[in-house]
Structure 1
Amino acid sequence: MTQTSSPRQKIQRRPVHGVLLLDKPLGLSSNQALQKAKWLLRADKAGHTGTLDPLATGVLPLCFGAATKFSQLQLEADKTYEAVLLLGQKTSTADAEGDVIATRPVPDITPALLEAVTRRFTGPLAQIPPMYSALKKDGKALYEYARKGEEVERAARHITIHKLDMALVHDSRAQAAIKIIVSCSKGTYIRTLGEDIGEAIGCGAHLGSLRRLETGGFEAGQCVSLAALEAMSEPEREACLLPAQSLLAAYPTVTLDADNAGRFLSGLRRRGEPGQWGDDAPLVQVYGSHPPAFLGSAHVTADELIPQRLLSPIEVQDILQATQRRLESFALEPPDLTAPSLHL
């Protein structure tokens, strides 16, 4: 008698709004990590805020629902990484996943040498993106050319290394190794930086490991792992979410009365008294006061509040209801209304 497997139960998706700070595990692409978290939360809309290679771990903010409207802010944000450079070998991908294509002896790594290299790679730089990247050339990702052994011309990008710390460390995989901690502007390829540092030292190098420590004010210590998320109940997973407006935490706040809030949410500009909306600003976060709710982003020019990215009335209502459910789920202890996950 032949056994037939029962059909797989379809997951009932639901509106979920907020930001999940994920500590991306080794071996998963950013999209694979996103899809796993999306499945665990049963979210109907999600996106990540910039790619981390499968080799890399660390801070990966995932945006759900209304938060996806503000994910570009994280794409533009400065970032901090920790990496180990394995000296003496250059690989086809500039990291440990590639084939070794050159081996050279490593010179004596002195403090003076490290200091000189640090100075050379701190500040504004022109960096040529690696062939193993998702950048497009004639509609194809560069890595598609690279996998066929082809190399195409790439324009240099202007980046900034705000801070670079370097220290000699022991690593059994290489003749010598250097740990670097680098704070940099968007668009910086740490693989390329590591390869360029290896060339400056005179022996070549590739990345042995890479971890993102911080992005746009979010730090690794705030993150949750996929394993921890899997072990949680669904309400516990939802409680891990930061509110959508956490992506705008660095910007000024404007609060509107009920009449102005309704008009603003429909996309209308609001003219204020001198200074009512504060100083001119390229970006502000906007809230309604009755009920207290996040409405979206705007900019202020000549005492006029001009909408930019708005939540829909349904999204505002979803968030208010989710917050109320979360408040009601607290048992005897009163909720901490200053907790980021409870902000409206």
Structure 2
Amino acid sequence: MPVYVVDKPLNLTSHDVVGRARRLLQTRRVGHTGTLDPLASGVLVLCVGDSTKLVQFMERDSKDYLALISLGAATPTLDAEGPILERAPVPDFSAGQVRSVLSAFVGPQEQVPPQYSALQVGGVRAYAVARAGGQLDLPARHITIHELTLLGQYADLSAAPRTFAPGPDGRWAGSDTGLNVSLPPALGDFPTLLVWARVGSGTYLRSLARDVGAALGVPAHLAGLIRTRAGRFELSQATTLDLIGEAAGLPDLSALPLPIIDAAPELALHLRQGKRPADPRQGRFAVLLGGQLVAVVDGDGERLTVVRAWA
């Protein structure tokens, strides 16, 4: 079954998108490979039918974002959902000051998730407790931020670009021509940073906005977020949700960032059963890929499984 790359619209949860896809594709077996908040848009990868088995191998893919961080106001949700809990005047930061702060967040680190998140402690969702006026003790998570690039500084969100395009290196930036994006309504006239981010799995851009503001000495919130890449899939490949029923979808193999082995049916069966090849000549790939996950495709090129190949 195919994989679909959807441009998630604003004001829908990832679960909402899955629900609509189920109706449009007339199947219950739909899953996604990484949640996007309602006030975020961009790449949401949907796996359909047997492809749902691949979600576990794609959830940890790195992702790229265009993030708009508004300075001078903090919210309980850490984004533009609001309400504003704290305000403060914002100094006239130079681009060099902002870049210096951003560079300090690049690399492996510990990040405290938002209270308004789907994380569970003791079987209770954090957002459920937050909506009831409480807080959970959410432990910091180990994450990696690969790149943070300052693309612009603006007097407020309305002055930030709304049209973006990818460069030859896959990094997106504001452009006179390209893809038009929608952003949530601004909570006020707050100075805003436009940042391109490449992050590992589990990274919360809302938490990053909070932490960047703290490093600058001011409250901050995530005013807008566009995911431009998830794993192998770019925003330029995405279809609108309403047209997913007419889209052809992409083959399973295009979704897997794994080495691919074409195997005869007998060898593929043995690998599915966890057996080592009896003939060492058949197992030469296992020597090269000791301990790695590999995608094994039967001779017809259709039936696919993922195994761990050992030397």
SS at match of 1:80: strand
4+ runs of 1 displaced by more than 3 Å?
261-272
The counterpart of 1:206, out of the listed 197, 202, 221, is 221
> Match for residue 175 of structure 2?
none
Is the 2:232–2:255 Cα contact (8 Å) retained in structure 1? no
> Match for residue 205 of structure 2?
190
Deviations 1:200-223 (A, max 9, x none): 111211111111111112110111
**Cα distance 1:293–1:193, how it changes in 2: closer, same or farther (>3 A)?**
same
Whether 2:140 is the aligned partner of 1:156: answer yes
> In structure 2, how many angstroms separate the alpha carbons of the residues matched to 1:90 and 1:117?
18
**Cα distance 1:269–1:100, how it changes in 2: closer, same or farther (>3 A)?**
same
Whether 2:56 is the aligned partner of 1:48: answer no
One-letter identity of the residue aligned with 1:50:
G
Shift of 1:260: 2.8
> In structure 2, how many angstroms separate the alpha carbons of the residues matched to 1:183 and 1:124?
13
Shift of 1:169: 2.4
> Match for residue 70 of structure 2?
86
> Match for residue 277 of structure 1?
285
> In structure 2, how many angstroms separate the alpha carbons of the residues matched to 1:200 and 1:264?
51
Whether 2:17 is the aligned partner of 1:33: answer yes
> Match for residue 288 of structure 1?
298
Is the 1:107–1:202 Cα contact (8 Å) retained in structure 2? no
> Match for residue 228 of structure 1?
243
Paired residues in the alignment total 277
> In structure 1, how many angstroms separate the alpha carbons of the residues matched to 2:243 and 2:305?
31
Structure 2 gap ranges (5+): 159-187
- The structure showing larger relative contact order (alpha-carbon pairs under 8 Å, at least 6 residues apart) is 2
**Cα distance 1:295–1:104, how it changes in 2: closer, same or farther (>3 A)?**
same
TM-score (norm 2): 0.84
Is the 1:285–1:298 Cα contact (8 Å) retained in structure 2? yes
> In structure 1, how many angstroms separate the alpha carbons of the residues matched to 2:121 and 2:251?
37
SS at match of 2:298: strand
What does 1:130-149 align with in structure 2 at a 5 Å threshold?
130-149=114-133
What does 1:64-143 align with in structure 2 at a 5 Å threshold?
64-143=48-127
One-letter identity of the residue aligned with 1:283:
L
**Cα distance 1:224–1:264, how it changes in 2: closer, same or farther (>3 A)?**
same
Shift of 1:38: 1.6
Shift of 1:174: 2.5
> In structure 2, how many angstroms separate the alpha carbons of the residues matched to 1:151 and 1:58?
30
> Match for residue 179 of structure 1?
194
**Cα distance 1:273–1:136, how it changes in 2: closer, same or farther (>3 A)?**
same
> In structure 2, how many angstroms separate the alpha carbons of the residues matched to 1:105 and 1:180?
21
SS at match of 1:259: helix
> In structure 2, how many angstroms separate the alpha carbons of the residues matched to 1:141 and 1:117?
32
Is the 2:10–2:38 Cα contact (8 Å) retained in structure 1? yes
Is the 2:99–2:149 Cα contact (8 Å) retained in structure 1? no
> In structure 1, how many angstroms separate the alpha carbons of the residues matched to 2:75 and 2:113?
15
Structure 1 gap ranges (5+): 1-16, 303-344
**Cα distance 1:299–1:265, how it changes in 2: closer, same or farther (>3 A)?**
closer
Shift of 1:258: 3.5
Whether 2:266 is the aligned partner of 1:259: answer yes
One-letter identity of the residue aligned with 2:137:
E
Is the 2:30–2:46 Cα contact (8 Å) retained in structure 1? yes
**Cα distance 1:74–1:169, how it changes in 2: closer, same or farther (>3 A)?**
farther
> In structure 1, how many angstroms separate the alpha carbons of the residues matched to 2:210 and 2:301?
50
> Match for residue 167 of structure 2?
none
Deviations 1:107-152 (A, max 9, x none): 1110221121122111122111110000001111001111121122
Is the 1:87–1:177 Cα contact (8 Å) retained in structure 2? yes
**Cα distance 1:70–1:199, how it changes in 2: closer, same or farther (>3 A)?**
same
Name the Cα RMSD after superposition: 1.8
Is the 1:117–1:201 Cα contact (8 Å) retained in structure 2? yes
**Cα distance 1:247–1:270, how it changes in 2: closer, same or farther (>3 A)?**
farther
Q: Whose Rg is larger?
A: 1
SS at match of 1:59: strand
Shift of 1:257: 2.0
> Match for residue 215 of structure 1?
230
**Cα distance 1:165–1:255, how it changes in 2: closer, same or farther (>3 A)?**
same
TM-score (norm 1): 0.76
